Structure 1
Amino acid sequence: MTKLATETSGNVTPLRIADAARLTRHVFVRDLRLDAHIGVHRHEEGRAQPIIVNVDLTVTEGEETLNDSLANVVCYERVVNNIKDLVAQGHVRLVETLAESIAEDCFTDERVLAARVRIEKLDAIEEAHSVGIEIERLRPLPQN
Protein backbone atom coordinates (compact mmCIF):
# COMPACT_ATOMS: atom_id res chain seq x y z
CA MET A 1 0.00 0.00 0.00
CA THR A 2 1.35 3.44 -0.85
CA LYS A 3 2.05 6.02 1.82
CA LEU A 4 -0.97 8.36 1.97
CA ALA A 5 0.72 11.35 3.57
CA THR A 6 4.32 12.51 3.61
CA GLU A 7 6.21 15.09 5.61
CA THR A 8 7.54 18.11 3.77
CA SER A 9 9.83 20.57 5.60
CA GLY A 10 8.18 19.97 8.97
CA ASN A 11 4.61 20.24 7.70
CA VAL A 12 2.30 17.38 6.85
CA THR A 13 1.17 17.27 3.24
CA PRO A 14 -2.63 17.08 3.00
CA LEU A 15 -3.97 13.60 2.39
CA ARG A 16 -4.79 13.03 -1.27
CA ILE A 17 -7.88 10.95 -0.85
CA ALA A 18 -9.56 10.95 -4.27
CA ASP A 19 -7.04 9.76 -6.83
CA ALA A 20 -7.82 8.72 -10.41
CA ALA A 21 -4.52 6.86 -10.77
CA ARG A 22 -5.27 4.78 -7.66
CA LEU A 23 -8.98 4.40 -8.57
CA THR A 24 -10.10 5.85 -5.25
CA ARG A 25 -12.80 8.29 -4.32
CA HIS A 26 -13.32 10.44 -1.24
CA VAL A 27 -16.35 9.94 0.98
CA PHE A 28 -16.63 12.49 3.75
CA VAL A 29 -18.76 13.79 6.61
CA ARG A 30 -18.25 17.42 7.58
CA ASP A 31 -19.04 19.01 10.91
CA LEU A 32 -21.48 16.42 12.27
CA ARG A 33 -22.64 18.02 15.48
CA LEU A 34 -23.78 15.65 18.21
CA ASP A 35 -24.30 15.70 21.95
CA ALA A 36 -22.07 13.07 23.53
CA HIS A 37 -21.44 11.73 26.98
CA ILE A 38 -17.68 12.00 26.88
CA GLY A 39 -14.85 13.03 29.17
CA VAL A 40 -12.60 11.99 32.03
CA HIS A 41 -13.51 14.72 34.50
CA ARG A 42 -16.15 14.38 37.18
CA HIS A 43 -18.06 17.43 35.87
CA GLU A 44 -18.36 15.68 32.47
CA GLU A 45 -20.07 12.61 33.90
CA GLY A 46 -23.84 12.36 33.65
CA ARG A 47 -24.26 15.15 31.11
CA ALA A 48 -23.95 15.45 27.37
CA GLN A 49 -21.69 17.98 25.71
CA PRO A 50 -21.45 19.08 22.09
CA ILE A 51 -18.90 17.51 19.79
CA ILE A 52 -18.16 17.89 16.11
CA VAL A 53 -17.10 14.86 14.09
CA ASN A 54 -15.39 14.94 10.69
CA VAL A 55 -14.62 11.81 8.71
CA ASP A 56 -12.61 11.38 5.50
CA LEU A 57 -12.55 7.98 3.83
CA THR A 58 -10.40 6.74 0.97
CA VAL A 59 -12.63 4.33 -0.90
CA THR A 60 -11.69 2.00 -3.72
CA GLU A 61 -13.82 2.53 -6.80
CA GLY A 62 -13.74 -1.12 -7.75
CA GLU A 63 -14.38 -2.53 -11.18
CA GLU A 64 -18.19 -2.58 -11.19
CA THR A 65 -20.26 0.17 -12.75
CA LEU A 66 -22.21 2.37 -10.38
CA ASN A 67 -25.54 1.77 -12.14
CA ASP A 68 -26.87 4.63 -10.01
CA SER A 69 -27.21 2.13 -7.16
CA LEU A 70 -26.50 2.89 -3.50
CA ALA A 71 -25.25 -0.70 -3.10
CA ASN A 72 -22.26 0.17 -5.30
CA VAL A 73 -20.91 2.98 -3.14
CA VAL A 74 -19.90 3.63 0.46
CA CYS A 75 -22.95 5.42 1.85
CA TYR A 76 -22.22 8.53 3.91
CA GLU A 77 -25.66 8.27 5.52
CA ARG A 78 -24.69 4.84 6.86
CA VAL A 79 -21.42 6.31 8.18
CA VAL A 80 -23.36 9.08 9.97
CA ASN A 81 -25.94 6.68 11.42
CA ASN A 82 -23.17 4.41 12.72
CA ILE A 83 -21.44 7.37 14.38
CA LYS A 84 -24.74 8.33 16.03
CA ASP A 85 -25.16 4.74 17.25
CA LEU A 86 -21.64 4.70 18.70
CA VAL A 87 -22.23 7.99 20.52
CA ALA A 88 -25.58 6.72 21.85
CA GLN A 89 -23.96 3.66 23.48
CA GLY A 90 -23.08 5.63 26.58
CA HIS A 91 -20.27 7.49 28.29
CA VAL A 92 -16.81 7.31 26.73
CA ARG A 93 -13.91 8.70 28.70
CA LEU A 94 -11.54 9.61 25.85
CA VAL A 95 -12.19 11.26 22.49
CA GLU A 96 -9.40 9.00 21.24
CA THR A 97 -11.50 5.95 22.13
CA LEU A 98 -14.47 7.29 20.21
CA ALA A 99 -12.32 8.16 17.20
CA GLU A 100 -10.81 4.66 17.13
CA SER A 101 -14.30 3.13 17.32
CA ILE A 102 -15.51 5.28 14.42
CA ALA A 103 -12.49 4.37 12.28
CA GLU A 104 -12.87 0.68 13.09
CA ASP A 105 -16.55 0.81 12.16
CA CYS A 106 -15.72 2.41 8.80
CA PHE A 107 -13.49 -0.56 7.96
CA THR A 108 -16.46 -2.93 8.16
CA ASP A 109 -17.01 -1.88 4.54
CA GLU A 110 -14.31 -3.68 2.57
CA ARG A 111 -14.06 -0.79 0.09
CA VAL A 112 -12.68 1.60 2.73
CA LEU A 113 -8.88 1.75 2.47
CA ALA A 114 -8.15 4.60 4.90
CA ALA A 115 -10.08 6.58 7.49
CA ARG A 116 -9.29 9.94 9.00
CA VAL A 117 -11.44 10.89 12.00
CA ARG A 118 -11.41 14.25 13.77
CA ILE A 119 -13.38 14.89 16.96
CA GLU A 120 -13.70 18.29 18.56
CA LYS A 121 -15.14 19.03 22.00
CA LEU A 122 -16.72 22.48 21.90
CA ASP A 123 -17.15 23.26 25.61
CA ALA A 124 -14.10 21.58 27.15
CA ILE A 125 -11.86 24.65 27.43
CA GLU A 126 -13.67 27.95 27.91
CA GLU A 127 -11.06 30.05 26.13
CA ALA A 128 -10.87 27.75 23.08
CA HIS A 129 -13.42 27.34 20.30
CA SER A 130 -12.69 23.60 20.34
CA VAL A 131 -10.16 20.99 21.40
CA GLY A 132 -9.82 17.42 20.28
CA ILE A 133 -7.92 14.91 18.22
CA GLU A 134 -7.50 13.62 14.71
CA ILE A 135 -6.42 10.12 13.78
CA GLU A 136 -5.71 8.41 10.49
CA ARG A 137 -5.93 4.64 10.13
CA LEU A 138 -5.19 2.36 7.19
CA ARG A 139 -6.99 -0.86 6.44
CA PRO A 140 -5.07 -3.63 8.17
CA LEU A 141 -3.17 -5.90 5.81
CA PRO A 142 -4.69 -9.40 5.51
CA GLN A 143 -3.16 -12.02 7.77
CA ASN A 144 -1.63 -14.94 5.87
Structure 2
Amino acid sequence: MTPPPNPARLDDLALSCRKLFLRRLEVMAHIGAHDFEKGVQQRLWIDVELYVPYAHSTPTQDRLHEVVDYDYVRAVVAERIAQGHVELQETLCDDLAERLLAHPGVRALRLSTCKPDVYPDTQAVGVEIVRIKPEPEPAP
Protein backbone atom coordinates (compact mmCIF):
# COMPACT_ATOMS: atom_id res chain seq x y z
CA MET A 1 0.00 0.00 0.00
CA THR A 2 1.26 3.47 -0.89
CA PRO A 3 1.99 5.67 2.14
CA PRO A 4 0.10 8.96 2.34
CA PRO A 5 1.81 11.87 0.59
CA ASN A 6 4.00 14.15 2.65
CA PRO A 7 2.29 17.58 2.82
CA ALA A 8 5.63 19.31 2.21
CA ARG A 9 5.97 17.40 -1.06
CA LEU A 10 2.52 18.55 -2.15
CA ASP A 11 3.55 22.15 -1.46
CA ASP A 12 6.70 21.61 -3.51
CA LEU A 13 4.63 20.27 -6.39
CA ALA A 14 2.42 23.35 -6.32
CA LEU A 15 5.54 25.47 -6.81
CA SER A 16 7.33 23.30 -9.35
CA CYS A 17 4.46 22.06 -11.47
CA ARG A 18 1.67 23.32 -13.61
CA LYS A 19 -1.70 21.95 -12.51
CA LEU A 20 -3.94 20.76 -15.33
CA PHE A 21 -7.50 19.91 -14.43
CA LEU A 22 -10.78 18.54 -15.69
CA ARG A 23 -13.72 19.31 -13.46
CA ARG A 24 -16.88 17.33 -13.27
CA LEU A 25 -16.28 15.13 -16.30
CA GLU A 26 -19.64 13.37 -16.49
CA VAL A 27 -19.76 9.78 -17.71
CA MET A 28 -22.34 7.04 -17.61
CA ALA A 29 -20.78 4.07 -15.86
CA HIS A 30 -21.58 0.59 -14.66
CA ILE A 31 -20.51 1.06 -11.05
CA GLY A 32 -21.77 0.00 -7.66
CA ALA A 33 -21.77 -2.82 -5.14
CA HIS A 34 -25.52 -2.83 -4.40
CA ASP A 35 -27.93 -5.05 -6.31
CA PHE A 36 -29.89 -2.02 -7.57
CA GLU A 37 -26.68 -0.66 -9.15
CA LYS A 38 -25.83 -3.78 -11.15
CA GLY A 39 -26.80 -4.07 -14.78
CA VAL A 40 -27.58 -0.37 -15.09
CA GLN A 41 -25.54 2.70 -15.84
CA GLN A 42 -25.46 5.67 -13.52
CA ARG A 43 -24.00 9.13 -13.66
CA LEU A 44 -20.49 9.50 -12.37
CA TRP A 45 -18.60 12.76 -12.00
CA ILE A 46 -14.83 12.66 -12.22
CA ASP A 47 -12.46 15.46 -11.22
CA VAL A 48 -8.79 15.18 -12.19
CA GLU A 49 -5.84 17.40 -11.32
CA LEU A 50 -2.53 16.50 -12.92
CA TYR A 51 0.72 18.01 -11.67
CA VAL A 52 3.13 18.35 -14.58
CA PRO A 53 6.63 19.76 -14.05
CA TYR A 54 7.17 23.02 -15.89
CA ALA A 55 9.85 21.29 -18.00
CA HIS A 56 7.07 19.07 -19.44
CA SER A 57 4.38 21.72 -19.69
CA THR A 58 6.00 24.92 -20.92
CA PRO A 59 5.66 25.09 -24.68
CA THR A 60 8.27 26.88 -26.73
CA GLN A 61 6.41 26.58 -30.04
CA ASP A 62 2.79 26.88 -28.81
CA ARG A 63 2.05 23.34 -29.98
CA LEU A 64 -0.10 20.68 -28.35
CA HIS A 65 2.60 17.98 -28.51
CA GLU A 66 4.66 20.01 -26.03
CA VAL A 67 2.20 19.56 -23.15
CA VAL A 68 -0.01 16.91 -21.55
CA ASP A 69 -3.21 16.95 -23.60
CA TYR A 70 -6.62 17.00 -21.90
CA ASP A 71 -7.72 14.44 -24.48
CA TYR A 72 -5.31 11.99 -22.84
CA VAL A 73 -7.25 12.21 -19.58
CA ARG A 74 -10.60 11.82 -21.31
CA ALA A 75 -9.32 8.82 -23.30
CA VAL A 76 -7.98 7.09 -20.17
CA VAL A 77 -11.33 7.55 -18.42
CA ALA A 78 -13.34 6.37 -21.44
CA GLU A 79 -11.12 3.30 -21.88
CA ARG A 80 -11.52 2.25 -18.23
CA ILE A 81 -15.27 2.85 -18.17
CA ALA A 82 -15.64 0.78 -21.35
CA GLN A 83 -14.03 -2.22 -19.63
CA GLY A 84 -17.24 -2.84 -17.71
CA HIS A 85 -18.67 -2.96 -14.23
CA VAL A 86 -16.61 -1.93 -11.22
CA GLU A 87 -18.09 -2.29 -7.76
CA LEU A 88 -16.19 0.33 -5.79
CA GLN A 89 -15.27 3.93 -6.47
CA GLU A 90 -12.03 3.24 -4.61
CA THR A 91 -11.11 0.61 -7.21
CA LEU A 92 -11.97 2.92 -10.08
CA CYS A 93 -9.94 5.79 -8.58
CA ASP A 94 -6.92 3.54 -8.10
CA ASP A 95 -7.18 2.17 -11.65
CA LEU A 96 -7.47 5.64 -13.18
CA ALA A 97 -4.61 6.98 -11.08
CA GLU A 98 -2.29 4.17 -12.16
CA ARG A 99 -3.11 4.76 -15.83
CA LEU A 100 -2.80 8.55 -15.65
CA LEU A 101 0.49 8.39 -13.77
CA ALA A 102 1.85 6.17 -16.54
CA HIS A 103 2.18 9.31 -18.68
CA PRO A 104 5.86 10.31 -18.51
CA GLY A 105 5.00 13.99 -18.07
CA VAL A 106 2.70 13.52 -15.08
CA ARG A 107 4.39 13.79 -11.67
CA ALA A 108 1.36 13.57 -9.39
CA LEU A 109 -2.41 13.72 -9.35
CA ARG A 110 -5.49 14.37 -7.30
CA LEU A 111 -8.52 12.43 -8.53
CA SER A 112 -12.06 12.07 -7.29
CA THR A 113 -15.17 10.27 -8.40
CA CYS A 114 -18.66 10.86 -7.15
CA LYS A 115 -22.08 9.44 -7.80
CA PRO A 116 -24.72 12.19 -7.66
CA ASP A 117 -27.82 10.02 -7.82
CA VAL A 118 -27.34 7.41 -5.10
CA TYR A 119 -29.16 9.02 -2.15
CA PRO A 120 -31.99 11.54 -2.37
CA ASP A 121 -30.72 13.46 0.67
CA THR A 122 -27.14 14.05 -0.53
CA GLN A 123 -25.65 15.95 -3.44
CA ALA A 124 -23.17 13.14 -4.14
CA VAL A 125 -21.12 10.34 -2.59
CA GLY A 126 -17.52 9.92 -3.59
CA VAL A 127 -13.87 9.15 -3.10
CA GLU A 128 -10.76 11.28 -3.54
CA ILE A 129 -7.12 10.19 -3.75
CA VAL A 130 -3.74 11.86 -4.16
CA ARG A 131 -0.82 10.04 -5.73
CA ILE A 132 2.78 11.15 -6.28
CA LYS A 133 5.30 9.21 -8.36
CA PRO A 134 8.40 8.16 -6.45
CA GLU A 135 11.42 10.38 -6.94
CA PRO A 136 13.65 9.06 -9.72
CA GLU A 137 16.84 7.41 -8.53
CA PRO A 138 19.90 9.65 -8.98
CA ALA A 139 22.27 8.57 -11.73
CA PRO A 140 25.46 6.89 -10.46
Match of 2:21 in 1: 28
Q: Given that residues 27 and 59 in structure 1 are in contact (C-alpha distance below 8 angstroms), is that contact kept between their aligned partners in structure 2?
A: yes
Match of 1:120 in 2: 114
Q: Given that residues 46 and 112 in structure 2 are in contact (C-alpha distance below 8 angstroms), is that contact kept between their aligned partners in structure 1?
A: yes
Q: Specify the SS of the correspondent of 1:81.
A: helix
- Which structure has the highest helix share of the two? 2
Going from structure 1 to structure 2, the CA distance change for 1:77 and 1:142 (only over 3 Å counts) comes to same
Match of 2:37 in 1: 44
Q: Given that residues 28 and 44 in structure 2 are in contact (C-alpha distance below 8 angstroms), is that contact kept between their aligned partners in structure 1?
A: yes
Q: Given that residues 59 and 67 in structure 2 are in contact (C-alpha distance below 8 angstroms), is that contact kept between their aligned partners in structure 1?
A: no
Question: Which fold has the larger relative contact order, with Cα–Cα distance below 8 Å and residues 6 or more apart in sequence?
Answer: 2
Q: Specify the SS of the correspondent of 1:91.
A: coil
Instruction: Say whether 1:129 aligns with 2:135.
Output: no
| Residue identity opposite 1:79 in structure 2 | V
Q: Given that residues 51 and 119 in structure 1 are in contact (C-alpha distance below 8 angstroms), is that contact kept between their aligned partners in structure 2?
A: yes
Moved more, 77-86 or 129-138: 77-86
Going from structure 1 to structure 2, the CA distance change for 1:66 and 1:101 (only over 3 Å counts) comes to farther
Going from structure 1 to structure 2, the CA distance change for 1:143 and 1:62 (only over 3 Å counts) comes to closer
Instruction: Say whether 1:54 aligns with 2:47.
Output: yes
Q: Which runs of 5+ in 1 are unaligned?
A: 6-15
Q: Given that residues 53 and 105 in structure 2 are in contact (C-alpha distance below 8 angstroms), is that contact kept between their aligned partners in structure 1?
A: yes
Deviations 1:10-44 (A, max 9, x none): xxxxxx8653xx2x111110110111100111111
CA RMSD for the aligned pairs? Answer: 2.2
Q: Given that residues 29 and 81 in structure 2 are in contact (C-alpha distance below 8 angstroms), is that contact kept between their aligned partners in structure 1?
A: yes
- Normalising by structure 1, we get a TM-score of 0.82
Match of 1:10 in 2: none
Once residues 108 and 66 of structure 1 are traced to their aligned partners in structure 2, the CA distance between those partners, rounded to angstroms, is 24
Q: Which runs of 5+ in 2 are unaligned?
A: 1-5
Q: How many residues align?
A: 131
| Residue identity opposite 1:51 in structure 2 | L
Q: Give 1:70 shift.
A: 1.4
Instruction: Say whether 1:92 aligns with 2:98.
Output: no
Q: Given that residues 117 and 134 in structure 1 are in contact (C-alpha distance below 8 angstroms), is that contact kept between their aligned partners in structure 2?
A: yes
Match of 1:71 in 2: 65
Match of 2:104 in 1: 110
